[in-house]
Every structure is written in C-alpha cells, then in structure tokens.
Amino acid sequence: MRYEDFYQRSVDEPEAFWAEQAERIHWQTPPRQILDTSRLPFRRWFVGGTTNLCYNAIDRHLEERGGQLALVAISTETNITRELTYRDLYREVNTFAAVLASLGVGKGDRVVIYMPNIAEAVFAMLACARIGAIHSVVFGGFASHNLALRIDDARPALLIAADAGMRGGKVIPYKPLVDAALEEATHKPPHVLIVDRGLDPQMTRVADRDLDYASLRASYEGAEVPVAWLESNEPSYLLYTSGTTGKPKGIQRDVGGYAVAMALSIRTVFDIAPGQVMFSTSDVGWAVGHSYNVYGPLIGGATSLLYEGLPTHPDPGIWWQLCERYGVRTMFSSPTGIRVLKKQDAGWLKKYDLSALKWLFLAGEPLDEPTAHWITEGLGVPVIDNYWQTETGWPAITLMPGLDLKPVKFGSPGLPSPGYRMKVIDEGTGEELPPQQKGVLVFVPPLPPGCLTTVWGDDERYVNSYFSHFNELLYSSLDWAIRDENGYTTILGRTDDVINVAGHRLGTREIEESVSTHPACAEAAVVGVQDELKGQVPVVFATLKQGVSEPSAEVARGMQQRVVSQLGGVAKPARVYVVNALPKTRSGKLLRRSLQALVQHTDPGDLSTLDDPNALEEVRRALERGSDV
C-alpha cells in the first residue's frame, strides 16, 4: 500500500483505521468502542477491550515459534551471552511473576526496576505486565536522589535492583545508591529484590528488607502464573522524564493502545517480520529500550538483541560482529553512538558480513548530515532518522520501509507516522506556517495509540505541560521545525535551545549542523552565552576525528568560517574550544545546559546522569586555557 493512502486513512478515518490495526494483537475481550474523545485532550483507545502485554509478547507465540530465539542478552563487560527461546522466556517470566506474587505484588501495584541491560530486567518488566503490576524502570545511571524522587512519586510495592552494572570494565555498584535513595525517600517499599551478579563482593544487605532473587527463583521455578487481563486503558508502565521545574514527570502508558502501536510499528516502520532479528542498542531504562528492545520485537514474534557494553569494546567492530553472528535485519541506535564510531577507523564497518542488515535507524537527538553520510557510505544500507519523544512511545516522524519506503532526505527524519496530525505553527499567533518557515511542531489531538495517556497522578500537569501553550488545543512538542513542500519535517532543536544574537533568533542545532560539516569535526555542541553588546553569542565546543593533524587553532578558524559562510555573520561563533570529550548523559544526550553554566560560571545543575566526569573536567581546562579562536 502507498504510504500516502495509509497515512491519510489514519487521520481521515481514525476509528476504522485503528480497528484494523487492532487485529494485529490478541484481545481476550474485543473492544466495544475504538476511540473515546469525550474528554479531550484525554482520549481512550479500544475501550472495553481486554488484553495483556506479556501474553502478546510471549504466550501467543509459543505454539508456532516456542523454539525460536526471543531474547539474546550479550554483555561484553562480563563476557556472558544468554540466548533464550520464547519457551525459555516464558519459563523465566512465569518464575519471576510467581516471585512477585509471593511478595504481595498484584494488579495496579507499582514496581521500580533499577537494573542495567541484563536479561533479568526484561524478565522483571514482562512479569509485572503479566500480573497487571505497573513497572517503572529507572535508568541504572541515575544517582540516589533521582531514584528517591521517582520512588516517592510512584510509591512502589517493591524495588528490584542489580548489585551492580559495568561500563568500560569498571564496576558501578547499584546497591549503595539504592540504600541511599531509600534513606532519602518518604515512601519506602517493604522489600528490595536483589539480582546478585557477583560483581560487588562488598555489597551489604538490610535484614528482612533485602531479598535474594536467585534463592526465591529456585523456590518458584516451574511455576505457572495466570495472565491478568486488563482493560485497554489501564496503566501498563511509568517512565519518568525530566520536567523543566520540580519533580520528574511520570509518563503513563496504557495497555491496548501501546500493544497495537508496537505491533504496527515493528512491521511497517522497522520492517521486522516474525522470526527476524532486531538489535536496538538502547538501555532498557529509556523509551527506545521499552519499545524496541522489549515490547516491539517480542510482540512482533522477532528476536531481540540486548547489549550491555560500549560500542568500542572490545573493539569498534563489536556491534557489526553481533549483526553478522545473529543475522540482524534492522538495527536501531543513536546519532551519538555513531559519532563515537566515527572517531574510529572506518575499516571496522567493512570487516563483517552485513548482508542480512537492511536498515539502520537512528533517533534520540537530531542526526547531523555529515554523520548520516559517513555511516550510510560505510555500511552501504539506508540510514533512517526518526523523531519521537518519551511521551510518544514510538516514532512520530519517520519513513516506513516495511510499508512503502519514501526517499531518504538527509537532515529530515521524514514524514508523519500513522495517526499523527501535525502542523508547524507560529509561536506567537498559533497560525499554521507555509513550507520552509520555522515554527513550533504541534500535534492535533487526539494523540494516536501508544502515546502517553497522562502524567502519573497529575492530570492537571499533563494538560499544563503539553496542551496549554496555544489558544487552540494542541500538543506542543516544544521543538522548532520546518516542513518542506513534500511534507518532510526537519527538527531544529528545542524551543528553549535558542540563541538571541542582537535580535536574531538562532537555533543551536542549526549552528551545530554547520560546524559539523567541517571535515575534521567529529561532534559539536553549541551554547548561547551572555554578551554585553549582543545579548547572547554562540560558543562552540568540538571534538575532532582521530588522525587530525592540523593545529587546533587552524581547525577552529575553519569551523568559524563554515558557520559564517553557511548561516551568515550574525551566527559567527564568538569562541571555539577544541576538546577531547563532550559531557553527555549515559543515554548519549549532550549536556548543553551544563556547558552553558560552566562558560558563565554558574551552577551546572544536576549531573547525576553524566557518563564521563572527565568530560566536564576537560571543558573546565579548555575554558581556563582559553578558546582556540
């Protein structure tokens, strides 16, 4: 079917369209109403239908593909690989569910999961889904205070944690962070279930509170736990995202709508059929990890690769080696991950047989054109940018090679996904803008299945955060965008990532794109800093590709000249710092606000998700020595 027809039907006849898509999953009780919009911006999909995410991800596949690989959990940190068939996964999840039930966890209870990318994290998520508990996975890189905030908001009946994670060969103990978080939290769960990997021999346990998963697993091995059938709109999980102020927002997902969105997207967007292999490099603690490490591939009857480790260890070919070994068809990573590899020898991209690999999807931040060209040429497969948010749960803008692949346009994630009615509007008037004019990207409600249903415990915050920016009832993405005459959208950065230089509004993203076109540039971050004359000026921090021999000052001047020639003198960076590393979160997002704070000698803020503390020190040293231009 043509993309245009498929998409148009999804917005012109949403109930008929989504009724058809709902047939992709198992319903214990069919929906009696496809869409209820009586309380916009709230909406309910597949009203009255009962289903279960775990049943759709495991049970329904057992007869046809019980012996097929469902999950391959690979750790290059511990050098352990676990290959689990659908039958193996069924047994592990049932056992985990029995352990949860023995601890009094039931339907509607929240369970906080604080674990790295290991198989038990997936078992725990699916076990919660099986019994109707609401899981809230907290990224293992978060510090104790961030964990405490999430505990107090979710008020869990149980916390599940690993003893430790590993990164770059270094053990990262989790248990001390759990203990500190529970010391700080007001709503302490009665028990902590510990998956002991044997990585932290110094781990201490709190009597009566801390329980050993391995011991309980042995007691319940072989248990069969019945599925809890949930009404489509009951909550399935919470995933916290940072708010601009105050406590984090618990993004609440439903059951039926999310299952349908996963079943549709895994096939039509990611082009994965039952029995095929998907490799998402995300952490399970992020939105991509939930949707395309766990639920999407398993609901689709595919094999999912789960990876703990760096993209460069034991060598920069590890991802491609895994693609060869397991016959990966679709890979999903981030622009940051590819930029890390871009610093290495491009020969690693050619070392392995990647004949099975058809697509590389990249998301999480805007994809710069030089990186897109580098990886496209290196792999020889289409690279498909896609845009979404924690809130949407699946791509809002992408191309759909599993349905009808439209041309890739570097710099744009593509076209609207089914059900997303989009506009680019003027931030002042709210009027829709013509093509090639920059405005705010908004979605017209009702949001399609798979998107957040509310903010956990705070409907008012849901409305205020997303639907109160304009006179018209619109979901604001808080992203600047431009659409072309063919409907392709380009994301220009957050509406709060704007530099006002002498009255000219410049997106940091636009300047970063320009700097990145310099052949020596591996990655760039641009921040706006205060200037007495111009109000704000752009300042660039850039890392260089390996093997660059030109002096830093010469490269910095070249970057400055690129910006002037491409964007004009008004965008000229006031300073350019060449550094060895940029500060990022564990998920690979640049900490631009921390950079800005360091330049302006203010508090860099919450650094709990900082991946490499040395990167901040590197920036401090660069600021002390002075800019390269």
Q: What is the pLDDT averaged over residues 198-217?
A: 97
448-485 pLDDT tens trace = 999 999 999 999 999 999 999 999 999 999 999 999 99
Q: How much is the pLDDT for 141?
A: 66
Residue 3 pLDDT class (50, 70, 90 cuts): very high
**CB within 8 Å of 414: residues ≥ 6 apart:** 384, 385, 386, 397, 398, 399, 406, 408, 488, 489
Length of the chain, in residues: 629
Q: How much is the pLDDT for 504?
A: 65
Question: In the 8-state DSSP scheme, what is residue 70?
Answer: E
Higher pLDDT, 203 or 371: 203
Is pLDDT of 246 > 60? no
- 8 Å CB contact between 88 and 70: yes
- 455 CB-side CA count, 13 A: 19
Interior angle at CA 485, CA 333 and CA 362, nearest 5 = 0
412-437 pLDDT tens trace = 999 999 999 999 999 889 999 999 99
Q: How much is the pLDDT for 500?
A: 72
Residue 245 pLDDT class (50, 70, 90 cuts): very low
Q: Radius of gyration of the chain from Cα atoms?
A: 24
Q: What is the pLDDT averaged over residues 63-75?
A: 98
Quote the mean pLDDT of the chain.
93
Strand partners, 441: 424
Interior angle at CA 116, CA 214 and CA 66, nearest 5 = 65
3-state secondary structure of 42: coil
325, two tokens: 């070994």
Q: In this structure, is the dihedral angle defined by the CA atoms of residues 209, 220, 56 and 50, taken in order, positive or negative? A: negative
580-626 pLDDT tens trace = 999 988 777 788 888 998 999 888 877 777 888 889 899 999 999 99
Percent of the chain exceeding pLDDT 90 equals: 80
**CB within 8 Å of 320: residues ≥ 6 apart:** 348, 349, 351, 352, 354
Is pLDDT of 146 > 50? yes
- 8 Å CB contact between 70 and 85: yes
438-456 pLDDT tens trace = 999 999 999 999 999 999 9
**CB within 8 Å of 581: residues ≥ 6 apart:** 543, 612, 614, 615, 618
- 8 Å CB contact between 573 and 540: yes
| Cα–Cα distance, 281 to 212 (Å, whole number) | 29
- 8 Å CB contact between 393 and 259: no
Is pLDDT of 328 > 90? yes
235 preceded by a cis bond (ω within 30 of 0): no
Is pLDDT of 514 > 70? yes
SS3 sequence of 428-458: CCCCECCCCCCEEEEECCCCCCCCCCEECCC
SS3 sequence of 113-167: EECCCCHHHHHHHHHHHHHCCEEEECCCCCCHHHHHHHHHHHCCCEEEEECEEEE
111-133 pLDDT tens trace = 999 999 999 999 999 999 999 99
Percent of the chain exceeding pLDDT 70 equals: 98
| Cα–Cα distance, 117 to 168 (Å, whole number) | 14
Domains of the chain: 3-309+386-479 (3.40.50.12780), 497-625 (3.30.300.30)
266-325 pLDDT tens trace = 999 999 999 999 999 999 998 999 999 999 999 999 999 999 999 999 999 999 999 999
- 282 CB-side CA count, 13 A: 25
Residue 496 pLDDT class (50, 70, 90 cuts): low
Q: What is the pLDDT averaged over residues 20-40?
A: 98
3-state secondary structure of 111: strand
Does the predicted model carry a pTM greater than 0.75? yes
517-531 pLDDT tens trace = 999 999 999 999 988
| Cα–Cα distance, 272 to 296 (Å, whole number) | 10
Q: What is the pLDDT averaged over residues 553-576?
A: 90
